Every structure is written in structure tokens, then in C-alpha cells.
Amino acid sequence: MTLPDRPDAVAEIGVIGGSGFYSFLDDAREYAVDTPFGVPSDPLVVGEVAGRRVAFVARHGGGHRFPPHRVNYRANLWALRSLGVRQVLAPCAVGSLQSHLVPGTVVVPDQVVDRTWGRAHTIYDGEGAVVHVGFADPFCPTGRATVLSVTAAAGDPAVDGGTLVVINGPRFSSKAESRWHQAAGWSLVGMTTMPEAAIARELALCFTTIALVTDHDAGVDGHESVTLEAVLEVFAGNIGRLKATLRSVIAALPPTQDDPVAQCPCRRALDGLRLPFVLP
């Protein structure tokens, strides 16, 4: 099955982020979108960034009211696609499992390990055709390359690659868990990228995680514990830098019309599969 672009799309790029991004868009308009999976975390806000039409959804809702295990990832991504979005940027705060990845480091991971449970992990969980999508490379190669190129050109290069392990939360890891994750060779730990990335793939969306390191995880190189206050302080101190990076990335991403399905493996994820329903 090849999925055409919507001629009536109102946005081409989506951003899933926190409350610090509410003022990110110019000429913003709010869209209340319903989906087969309920309502998104918040109404979507569509506006312009660098002359591009961008849709933003607050991952945790206004006031950060949804913990990571209760975010409606399926509704958020379905809603973005229904507005025409095909490329998604997903900034997130993460802990570091490696001594050289210090707070303030921006990492563009290329792999993910899912240790979440109890979340709705797929949009294809009803009766009908069984749908298995490939997920060997979880993140969009075009999006990753764009972030790396933009940050290098700005003299603030992001770290290229690394494995992000996603835990269920909302608690932080124990020291034993952190050491286990570090011993496995993983780079980062977070709470939101799964099933977000997998659902994006099920919707044939390009998905790129931009991870900001806010702390060293407990037990890593003698670090004792992680506190929410410290995480929020580092994130707040870097929000301007992260917004500037996103603006530059949005400006540099290839326009949808210049990046046909044939050129991106993310957009071909559903080719040849029989779907139980029509996607927006």
C-alpha cells in the first residue's frame, strides 16, 4: 500500500514537545482533533516556523498533567497525520548512561530499547488484518542527518548515534537498573520515546528524536540520585538553545513535495501491507 500526501494538509512538519514550546509558533491556530483512539494530550496548535507549516502537540498536555505511561501516544500521532504531517521532530529530556555525555549534551540517537509495559503499543490491535512493520532502524535517516548537519553548521554539534533505553516511569531508575543499562552499552535513558517512535512507523511517519541530556542516571560513575528539580533546571536552561535548533532543522528539512515516498524508508513502511482501516 502506498500512501499519498493529503492535498488539504494544513501542516507538513510535526513537533511533539513539552510546555516550553507553546510559544514556538508564529500565527498559531488551535485545532481540536478527535481520533479513533480518543483525544490527543492537548489540542494541536498549527503555525509557521521559518516559513514552514508546523503542528505542535504538548506530549504531556497543558500543565504537564499526563505522566509518561499515560500519554495517549496513538492519538497524538494520529492527530498529527490527520493534519497532513509527514515529518515529526520529538525533543525529549533524557538521563545519561555514559560519563562523556554530560548535562546539556544534545544526542541524536539511532537505536532504541523498549522497557515499557502497560502502554498501548500499536494502532493495529483490533480484529482484522495483522500488521507487522519493520523497526530495525527506529529513527528517520533524513531527519537525523538534518539535525546533525544543522547543529554542526551552528558550531554546536549534536552527538551522532547512541541507544536510548525507554523505561516506564514515572519513577527514576534504581542504581542497579542504571548500572545494568550502562553495562549493556546503552547511552541514554528516557520515558517517552516508546511507543511513540513505533506508532509513528505504523503511520508511515518520519520520526526523529532530539535528546537533551539533563543528568547522569543514578549509579553511573558515582552519581547518587536523580531529582525532578535538577532535570527541570537543566532543561529550562537549554530550552532557548533547543528551540533555535528546532527552528533551523525545520527550515532545512526537505519539503514534502521534494521528498517523495520512494526516497524515504519511513514513508514506505506500509508498502505491500494490507491495513484493516484507512489512515488519515
Active site residues: 215, 217
Rounded Cα distance, 15 and 249, in Å? 11
Closest CA to 177 of 212, 227, 217: 217
* Those residues with Cβ within 8 angstroms of residue 62's Cβ, 6 or more apart along the chain or in another chain: 19, 42
Contact 249, 108 (CB under 8 A): no
Phi-psi bin for 178: left (phi > 0), alpha (psi -120 to 50), beta? alpha
The neighbour count for residue 244, using CB atoms within 10 Å, is 13
Phi-psi bin for 130: left (phi > 0), alpha (psi -120 to 50), beta? beta
Rounded Cα distance, 177 and 221, in Å? 14
214 CA to centre of own chain: 17
